[in-house]
Each structure stands twice: as structure tokens, then as C-alpha cells.
Structure 1
Amino acid sequence: MVYVNARFLTQPITGVQRYALEISRQLVELMPSIKFVAPQNILHQETARALGVEVIGSRTGHAWEQIDLPALLKTRNSPLLINLANTAPLLYWNKVSTLHDIAFEKFPENFSWQFRTAYRLAIPRMMKTSLKVLTVSEFSKSEICTAYQLRPEKVSVVPNAVSSAFRETPASASERYILAVSSISRQKNFHGLVEAFGLLRQDTHKLYIAGAMNKIFADSDLARKIESNPRIRLLGRVSDDELANLYGGADAFVFPSFYEGFGIPPLEAQACGCPVIVSDAASLPEVCGDSALYCSPYDVNDIAEKIGLLISTPELARTLREKGRANAGRYNWRTSAMRLLEAIGKLQCQPQASTA
């Protein structure tokens, strides 16, 4: 019997939770005997019903994960536990754990000291006590193996993919624009993008920014730059359907991030037929291959130059659209879930050895 830690159903959806949700939807079809367990404070009830989630324990949050969950499993002969959302019960050894990246080490300023401290204590233990570690790219695998001194064969790559909500549909926009999407944090390099957009000598396109706005207004320097440029529009949080329409209507999608374990937004844009510009850093060259136009995230002039080139060269835009569609098609959740099952299948056929 295989169990899945479904605590992610109690959390708001970000990239990590979306990964867990999509993989779980595939797992329940590929392995009907799989069991999902979660605490009582589930936010996504419809998904929980579809997965047949069993609610267990009296606690919530980390206490549920560290106390209630392993206690239940031990009463059921300690089955294999799959953890998909960066955390896991530390003292339970028969487990597979997922770590998307180590951004909390590379960009600690983006996280509260409580979060950094908790992860710096928990993640090494989670890596040590897991039979197998899953991550989303070869880049992240290399980073994780180096940071925690893991053998490469202990880490399997199970990549992200694109939700079915993101697909090409007829789109009409009242004005021409460049799109940027993400949470607003230093590693995403919105400062560089806003500065680069200000350097462009053009009056044909606006810059639309979709995502949570709270951190923009907490950063007085970024807020001032945005407010001083009437060609920048802040859209706030948008639904998947709204985002798909924004991708479809944009002349370019720009993602100049310093650090990504994978980077789903460029694939979403490509699936919607939008040409993309991404940074030449971290996992993005691996994920995008030759389907994107690359810029240096450290050079605002280069970012501006690549934006100007794409919006002024129709043939380049057509080429990137075609290559982007093909690239987005390389990833799908069913294939990723099958990779996960292959990894745990090999694990179950092998005698348990050192977890280092």
C-alpha cells in the first residue's frame, strides 16, 4: 500500500501546491489503490473528494504532519509515504520526499527568519531520512545533491507541466502589451524588468504585471518606479482563465528571474501561443531549450534590448511561437506521474540500504 501526504490541500495554491495537486490527480488514475490522508482543515474540498482523501488526526499544520500522520502510518504497518510539497514527517523513514529547489538558501532575504530557520533545520533531516528525493529539474537535482551531499541516484527528476487551463484560444486585446507574471520577490527580478521597460524607446506597448501586489507597495523603490511610468499596469491576482487570456493577447512574455527550480510561467505562456523571453540563469535554459529568447538577468540593457528585438521582429515572434508550442508539449502531468511511479517501483524492488 502507498500513501500520499495530502496536507497540501490545506494550503493556498502556489507553484508547490499546484504540482502536488496535478501529480495527485494523475496518481489516483494510474494507481487506484493509492491512499490520500490529510488534516481536517482542507481548503480544496472538491479536489479532496475526487482523490478520496481520508481525514485523520486532531491537529493541523506541522504538528499534524510530524505527530498525527506518522502515528497513523505506524498503526498500518508503516507503508511507503509520498510527500509532494517540500515538507514531510522527519522521524518517519519509509518515505519519498519532494524538494523543488533551495531558494531559501540562495535568496534568504525573500523569506522570513522563522521560515529560513525552520527549513534549515528540517530539510537536511528530511533529505537524510527519505529513501528517495524527487525534484523538478536537473538543475535542482544538482543543487540539492551538492547542498546535502546526496548520491545522484537518490534523487529523481519529476518535472512540472502545464495545467489544461492554459491552451491557445482566439484572443483580442484592446491595446498591445508585454506580460510579466509571478510573485513579487527579489529573485524574480521585477526591479530589473521595470527598469528595462523604462529604457525602451517605444510607445506601442504597455507592460502588464499580474501577481500579488502587497510586496510591490512594501518596496518603496519599486513602487516609485512603477507609479512614475504610466505605461505600466498592475493587474493583481488573476484566475487561471484570466491569465490564459492575458498570455494569449500578449506580444511577449518576459521572465527575467535570477533563480528558478523549474519555472512554470514560461511554459504556460508558450502553451497559449505567446513568445517568451527568459533569463539565461538557473533551470530556465534546461526547461526552455531553443524555444525562448534569452537575456541576462543582471543586465537591464540586455533585457531591454531583447524586449525591443522581439516586439519589433514579427518573424522572430512567429518562430518562437512555433518552438514554444512544441516545447510546452514536451511536459505533461501524466508523464511526470509515471516517472514518479517508476521511481518508487524501483525503490520497492530494492532492499533498503543507506539513505545518504
Structure 2
Amino acid sequence: MIYINGRFLTQNITGVQRFALEISKEIIKREKDCIFLVPSLKDLKNKDLTDLFNIVEIKGGRGHYWEQITLPIFLLKNKGASLLNLCNSAPLFYKKQIVTHHDITYIRYPQSFSMPFRIYYQFFSRFFLKNSKEIITVSEFSKEEISNHYGIERSKITVVYNAVSAFFSNEEKIKKEDKVGYILAVSSPVYHKNFNKLVSAFSRTDINLQLKIVGGVEKNLSNTTKTDSDKRISFVGRVSDDELRSLYSHAVAFIFPSLYEGFGIPPLEAQACGCPVLSSQNASMKEVLADSVLYFDPTSEDQIISVIKKISNNDVLRELLISNGYSNVTRFSWEKSAAIVHSLIEKINVQKGSI
């Protein structure tokens, strides 16, 4: 059997929670004896999941206190059971566990995070990573980063790729003439996502297209002089999955200017919806996107401008990137990724030793 740290079920859905949720849905098909431990059933973000998962409430605080004190005490009382952590954090000193750590952005770009967040991850991550039996991360790039920074043997780290939900697909074939005149960008406005550079570069173009940016917006980004003066740039804010799928499907192209990613799901979502992708060449992006996109140096406004201009007036290139994108998406699946996780569960379940 396996206990799963279900704290992620009480959190808002972002990329790391999505990974945890999708892997969990597949794991329960392979491992019948899965128990999700949560601090409070009342805090579940999706109450319907109680019909899908075997969720058990372990009372005793919330947040980090529950994860660091209540959870390991419960496990020790249950003969040191195996624990699977799928969402970037874990008990510091519990050893019979698998820990998932997506990347070390908090080290490479600390300015993207609040002080409490940086302190927690910069200090505590080294303990739960070194004390765990196995580590999961989402790319070979992140594997190297984690290994090099924390001095952890590569053999202890297993790559388990993200994938795209089947929801994101181009259900209705969008004809070329049905495409709306905009470039789409999707992400959060934190520093390493590089939105300021994208906005600045786009404002220097003279193309007859809009730039639509989906996601939360920081005041210092949305109120810049460039966005005020350039009416082609608009901040859509947060949207539903239905709205996002439609935006992907109708866009002329999707652009991803990030400086650092452990994986980067939005470009794959765009590709699944039949949208050609322009991507940063940094970090894990070439590993994830291979030859299916048009790359650029995210620190160069001139290169950003160049790829936007290329895609805006070249239908042959667009069709090639759409076709390559569909092929690229098929490289990843939650089923294949969950199979790797399940093999790690079986591995630690048969291991003897300290807990």
C-alpha cells in the first residue's frame, strides 16, 4: 500500500498541483491500496474527489505544521508506512518517502518569490531531498539542476514528465480564415516568466496583430507606459479552461518567453489545440519541445520581434509548426508518467531500513 500526501487537494490548482492530481488519477488504477491523507476534509478544493480517491482526514493543524509534524507522526504510528509526495514539499526528516521537486527556480530567480517562500524552500528543500528514498522531477534539465545544486546522486532522481490533459484538444478544426488576429501568452507575471521583455518587444513591432496575455497581472507590469500607449496589448486576466482552450485554438500563435522552466506545460497545451508555438530556448524548453517550435533568445527583444514577424506572415511555417506540435504532444502522457511513479512505489515498499 501507499499513503499519499494529499495536502495538494486543499490548494488552488497551479502547475504543480495539476501534476499531482493527474498522476494520482492514474496511480489509483495501478495501486488499489492508495490512501490520500489530508489535514481537513472541509478544505478540499474539489469535494467530488472524495468519490474518486480514498481520502482520510488526519487532524492536527494545517499547512506546514500538519505536513512537518502531524503527518510524519501518523506514519510512524503506522509502522513507518511509505509516503508519496507529489507537490514540491514533504516532511523534512521522514525517510521512507518519495519526494517530487519540479525545479529550483527559487534558487536561480529568487526575485520571483516572496521572502517566506524563498526561506522555506532554500532552507528546507535540502533536508527532505537528501532524507528521502527517491526523488521525482519533471525533466532531465531539472534533474541536473537539483543534483548539482544539492549534491545528490543522479541515480536517486527519476524524471517523470508532465503531460497535457485530454481536455486541451482542437475539437473543431479551426480554418485559417477563422483565426483571430492575436498572439497569445499564458503564465504568471513573476520575474522569470519575462513578460516585461515580451511587452517591450511587441510594442516595437508594427504588425497588425494583438498580444493577449492570460493570467494574473502585477500592477507594475499592466500599468507600464508601453501597455498604456499600445492598444494592441491586452491583459485578459484569469480565464476558465473552456475559455483558455478557445483562446489557444483561435490564436495566430502562442509565445512563451520564460527565462527558466522545469518543464513548461502551456506550450504543450497550445500545441494540443492546434496553435503554433514560439518559445524561449532556455532551461528545459528544447528538451520538452524538441524541433516542434520556433525558438528565440528570451533576453533579446530583437529575436522576439523576429519570430513574431516570421509567424505573422508565413502560413506555410504556421502549418508546419502546427503539424510538428501535434506530433510533439504525443511524446507525453499521464499514463506513461504514472507507470514510472508506480515502479518507484513498488521499489520503496520492498526496501528495508530506517524510517
Task: Please give the TM-score of this superposition, normalised by the length of structure 2.
Answer: 0.95
Go from structure 1 to structure 2 and tell me whether the alpha carbon gap of 1:219 and 1:194 turns closer, same or farther (over 3 Å shift).
closer
Structure 1 window deviating more from structure 2 (43-52 vs 319-328): it is 43-52
Q: How far is 1:194 from its partner? A: 0.8
The offset of 1:119, in angstroms, is 1.1
CA distance in 1, matches of 2:152, 2:179: 52
**Partner of residue 39, structure 1:** 39
> In structure 2, what is the Cα distance between the partners aligned to 1:122 and 1:219?
31
CA shift at 1:174, angstroms? 7.8
Measured against aligned partners, the alpha-carbon deviations of 1:195-240 in whole angstroms (never above 9, x if no partner) come to 111122222x111110012x1x1447x6322121100121100111
Contact 1:208 1:233 in 2 (8 A): yes
User: Relative to structure 2, which stretch is displaced further, 326-335 or 194-203?
Assistant: 194-203
Alignment coverage as a number of residue pairs = 350
2:16 equivalent in structure 1: 16
Partner of 1:63: 65
| TM-fit CA distance, 1:142 | 0.3
Cα distance, 1:351 vs structure 2? 5.3
Q: 2:195 matched to 1:190?
A: yes
Give the aligned residue type for 2:183. Answer: I
For 2:129 and 2:317, locate their aligned partners in 1 and report how far apart those are by CA, in whole Å: 44
How many angstroms does 1:58 deviate by?
Answer: 2.7
Distance in 2 (CA, whole Å) between partners of 1:237 and 1:148 is: 35
2:15 maps to a residue whose letter is G
RMSD of aligned C-alpha atoms?
1.6
Aligned to 2:290: 289
Aligned to 1:208, what secondary structure does the other structure show? strand
User: Does the CA contact (< 8 Å) of 1:57 and 1:69 recur in 2?
Assistant: no
Matched, 1:30 2:41: no
CA distance in 2, matches of 1:86, 1:14: 12
Gap change, CA 1:301 and 1:54, over 3 Å in 2: same
2:211 maps to which of 207, 213, 216: 207
CA distance, structure 2, for counterparts of residue 105 and residue 190 of structure 1? 20
Distance 1:64 1:219 in 2: 36
Would the aligned equivalents of 2:212 and 2:233 in 1 still touch at CA under 8 Å?
yes
SS at match of 2:224: helix
Q: Distance in 2 between matches of 1:174 and 1:106?
A: 38
Structure 1 vs Structure 2: percent identity of aligned residues? 42
Q: For 1:139-196, what per-residue CA distance to the aligned partner results, in whole angstroms no more than 9, with x for missing partners?
A: 0000000011011100000110101220012258684111000001111111111111
* 1:268 aligned onto 2:269: yes
User: 1:321 — aligned with what?
Assistant: 322
- Give 2:213's aligned amino acid: I
Alignment of 1:1-356 (within 5 A): 1-40=1-40, 41-170=43-172, 171=174, 175-203=180-208, 205-213=209-217, 215=218, 217-219=219-221, 223-349=224-350
Hey, which bits of structure 1, 4+ residues long, moved more than 4 A? 171-174, 349-353
Aligned partner of residue 277 in structure 1, secondary structure? strand
| Contact 2:189 2:195 (C-alpha < 8 Å) held by counterparts | yes
Distance 1:236 1:184 in 2: 11
Q: 2: CA distance between counterparts of 1:296 and 1:351?
A: 48
1:291 is paired with a residue whose SS is coil
Q: CA deviation at 1:291?
A: 0.3
1:76 and 1:89 map into 2 onto residues whose CA distance is 16
Deviates more, 1:26-35 or 1:13-22: 26-35
CA contact 1:253–1:266 (8 Å) conserved in 2:
yes
SS of 2:119 mapped into structure 1: helix
Distance in 2 separating the partners of 1:351 and 1:287: 36
Contact map agreement 2:179 2:251 (CA 8 A) in 1: no
Q: Do 1:256 and 1:297's aligned partners in 2 also have CA atoms closer than 8 Å?
A: yes
- For residues 47-93 of structure 1, the C-alpha deviation after alignment (integer angstroms, 9 at most, x for no partner) is 24311211111311111111111111112111110001111111211
Q: Whole-Å Cα distance in 2 between the matches of residues 34 and 334 of structure 1? A: 17
CA distance in 1, matches of 2:50, 2:19: 15
